[in-house]
Amino acid sequence: MAANLRQLTIDDYDAVINLWLGAGLPIKPKGRDSRPMMAKEMARDYCAYFGLYDDDLMVGVGIANYDGRRGWINRVAIDPDRRGERLARLIITACEEFLKGLGSVVNCALIEEINSPSISCFQNAGYHHEPVILYFTSRSSPDA
Ligand SMILES: CC(C)(COP(=O)(O)OP(=O)(O)OC[C@H]1O[C@@H](n2cnc3c(N)ncnc32)[C@H](O)[C@@H]1OP(=O)(O)O)[C@@H](O)C(=O)NCCC(=O)NCCS
């Protein structure tokens, strides 16, 4: 595989959305996954989208962002035809390097408890499950 990992721009928007959809991740096209919102997100110094390309085909994607206290790795997805090749690890490593450059000393990922491939993937990358934490949200709208 001629793997090519790079930071994405809004020009990669369609490929990112298609990869997320193909990977089975839900998207919020009227909210944070709209093109304008994603363009703003990508323009922030503390946020980076990384994409893994096999020639011209995007086969992996993930987002790193630093909140000033913790680093977060979000929305990692690998093309279903390319699972089990440890490709997500390449995305995670790119995110970690970006977050380290911003000064992050704690990196985190939120994973649904039924998502065993993702749990394995992050555990294999050295992440520890913190079972006492519950996830609470406040959304400006259901589409946000
Ligand atoms: C989670 C995900 C990114 C892992 O990507 P990956 O590159 O396949 O990761 P790995 O190769 O390290 O495999 C991780 C685990 O996936 C499972 N797996 C292995 N081969 C697989 C395959 N062909 N198909 C599905 N799952 C597979 C295994 O449980 C593996 O863990 P193990 O090696 O300890 O047995 C990928 O499964 C994916 O895109 N899932 C859908 C999107 C998603 O849920 N993202 C995470 C949001 S938190």
Q: Where are the domains of the chain?
A: 3-124
The dihedral through the CA atoms of 127, 41, 78, 87 has a sign that is negative
Mean pLDDT of 64-76: 98
Average pLDDT over residues 44-48: 98
Q: Could you tell me what percent of the chain has a pLDDT over 90? A: 96
Ligand 1 atom with the shortest distance to the CA of 79: 39
Say how many Å lie between the CA of residue 14 and the centre of ligand 1. 22
144, amino acid identity: A
pLDDT at 20 over 60: yes
Q: What is the mean pLDDT of the chain?
A: 96
Across 103-133, b (16+ Cβ under 10 Å) vs e yields ebeebbbebeeeeeebbebbeebebeeeeee
Residue-wise pLDDT tens digits, 22-43: 999 999 999 999 999 999 999 9
Q: Whose CA is nearest to atom 48 of ligand 1?
A: 111
pLDDT of residue 137: 95
Q: Looking at residue 2, what is its pLDDT?
A: 55
Expressed in angstroms and rounded, the spacing between residue 101 Cα and the centre of ligand 1 is 27
Q: Residue 77: which pLDDT band, with cuts at 50, 70 and 90?
A: very high
For a ligand 1 pocket test, name from 87, 110, 120 the mutation site with the most ligand atoms within 8 angstroms of its C-beta.
Answer: 120
What distance in angstroms lies between residue 81's CA and the mean position of ligand 1's atoms? 11
Choosing among 3.40.630.30, 3.40.50.20, 3.40.50.10860, 3.20.20.70, the CATH entry for 3-124 is: 3.40.630.30
Per-residue pLDDT at 1 exceeds 60: no
- Distances, alpha carbon 64 to alpha carbons 1, 68, 99, 132, 142, in Å: 24, 12, 7, 24, 23
The rounded Å distance from CA 140 to ligand 1 centre is 32
